[in-house]
Amino acid sequence: MEISFIVTTNNNDESKYVLQFLSNIFNINDKNFEIVLVDNSFYYSDSLKIINEYFILYPNQIQIITSYKPLDISASRNLAIKIAKGKYLVFLHPTELISPNFFSTIKEILKKNHSLDCIEYSVSYFWGLKYAFESTVRLKPNKIYNLKATEDKEVYALTSPLLSTKLFKKEIITKNDITFRRSLQFDSYFVYAFLAHAETFYAVDKILINNEVNIMMYDNSFELVNQWVHILNYYNNNQLKKKLNKELEYAFVRYALFSFLLSLASSKNPQLLQKMYDYVKDYITRRYKNFTTNPYLRDKAAKDDDFPMVARDLSKFFKKYFTDNKLKDDSRFWE
């Protein structure tokens, strides 16, 4: 078994997405995969009924976990990791659909490069059937990065922190006891914990997943930024923080000031956006002056990364951000 897709459901409203996900993946002409589906809507019949129907049709490709007591998403994924049979794991929400070229692309990459620990690709987001944005592969594509080599450290600075943009080798996860932590509601911590132990990384500039729902809005938004404290502590505990200080600094500040706030803007909730901006500002202010000398901001950023230009003139960036989202104009703070 080459790939295990780990998928979790949490309520009956997701039954339509479960049906869509299963229908989509089994319509693709490839059978070298399994789905480990953790169903937390035990008392609701729709989701479980759909899963059982597909289990009857594809008994060798679906493993189902149900619980009388609903599990949170971290416990669900940790349990699924233990029983997954695939060499590689992909973590998805039922709203995330496999692109028709997913298997052929991954198969071609692994055929040429047998020992890869992680593969990154793009995810396209359509919220409310309207195009929202697409995760960017900022690393040079079609190159094997050696994460233990000094010259390939840019992976830690430029990789996407989104969980669903990655294919992870299970052996690395189990060997290093990498788990989803209950205190964290989002997934960048898992991504960076994995990268701390991985040796080889490959990026392909193709969209392999399509997401139709803004699942970030179902999480505690503050945890999206809070998890970076845990990431930095993890690297410090593994004697890697000093060695990768500039890379981690760039990834963290870029995420907080740019990716996070732009992604959240799709909520169109001025109260939430104002609160999150104030929170991010407090988080970043004491770091920002030092960050202006970061080499990834000056001369090492990816060519298609807009953030370095934004970071050189944050006042202009936030002036537009405040106007677009009907927020109190605080742009002069960054001058």
- Block residue for tokens 């080599």: 149
The two tokens of residue 228 are 């970076």
**The pLDDT value given to residue 35:** 95
Pure H helices in the chain: 15-26, 45-57, 73-83, 102-112, 154-158, 170-175, 188-195, 222-237, 245-254, 260-264, 270-291, 295-298, 307-312, 314-324
Q: Please, which pLDDT band fits residue 18 given cuts at 50, 70 and 90?
A: confident
Crossing angle, helix 245-254 and helix 270-291, to 10 degrees? 150
Least confident of 16-20, 79-83, 200-204, 330-334: 16-20
For residue 44, the model assigns a pLDDT of 57
The number of CA neighbours under 13 Å toward the Cβ of 224 is: 27
Q: Which of these, 5, 208, 24, lies nearest to 123 by C-alpha position?
A: 208
pLDDT at residue number 43: 56
Q: What SS3 class is residue 154?
A: helix
Cβ contact 137:203 at 8 Å: yes
260: which residues sit within 8 A by CB, 6+ positions away? 224, 225, 276, 280
**pLDDT class for 130, splitting at 50, 70, 90?**
low
Residues recorded for the chain: 335
103 against 52, higher pLDDT: 103
Quote the CA–CA distance of 46 and 18 in Å, as a whole number.
10
Rg of the chain's alpha carbons, rounded to an integer?
20
User: Who has greater pLDDT, 30 or 121?
Assistant: 121
Dist. CA 220–CA 215, nearest whole Å: 11
Q: Tokens in use for 23?
A: 């229908």
CA distance 45 to 49: 6
Residue 144 has pLDDT above 60, yes or no: yes
Alpha-carbon separation of residue 313 from 92, 141, 145 (angstroms): 36, 28, 32
In order of 262, 293, 315, 333, the CA distances from 298 in angstroms are 22, 7, 18, 22
Place of tokens 């080798």: 169
Question: Which structural domains are found in the chain, ordered by start?
Answer: 3-214 (3.90.550.10), 240-334 (no CATH)
**Is residue 246 within 8 Å of residue 296, measured between CB atoms?**
yes
The DSSP letter of residue 84 is -
pLDDT tens digits along 214-258: 555 545 678 888 899 999 999 999 999 999 999 999 999 999 998
Assign 278 to helix, strand or coil.
Answer: helix
User: Which three-class secondary structure state does DSSP give residue 295?
Assistant: helix
Q: Which amino acid makes up residue 254?
A: R
Return d(Cα 154, Cα 324) in angstroms, integer: 32
What pLDDT was estimated at residue 169?
Answer: 98
Whether residue 129 has pLDDT greater than 80: no
Statement: residue 113 has pLDDT above 60: yes
The pLDDT, as a whole number, for residue 306 is: 85
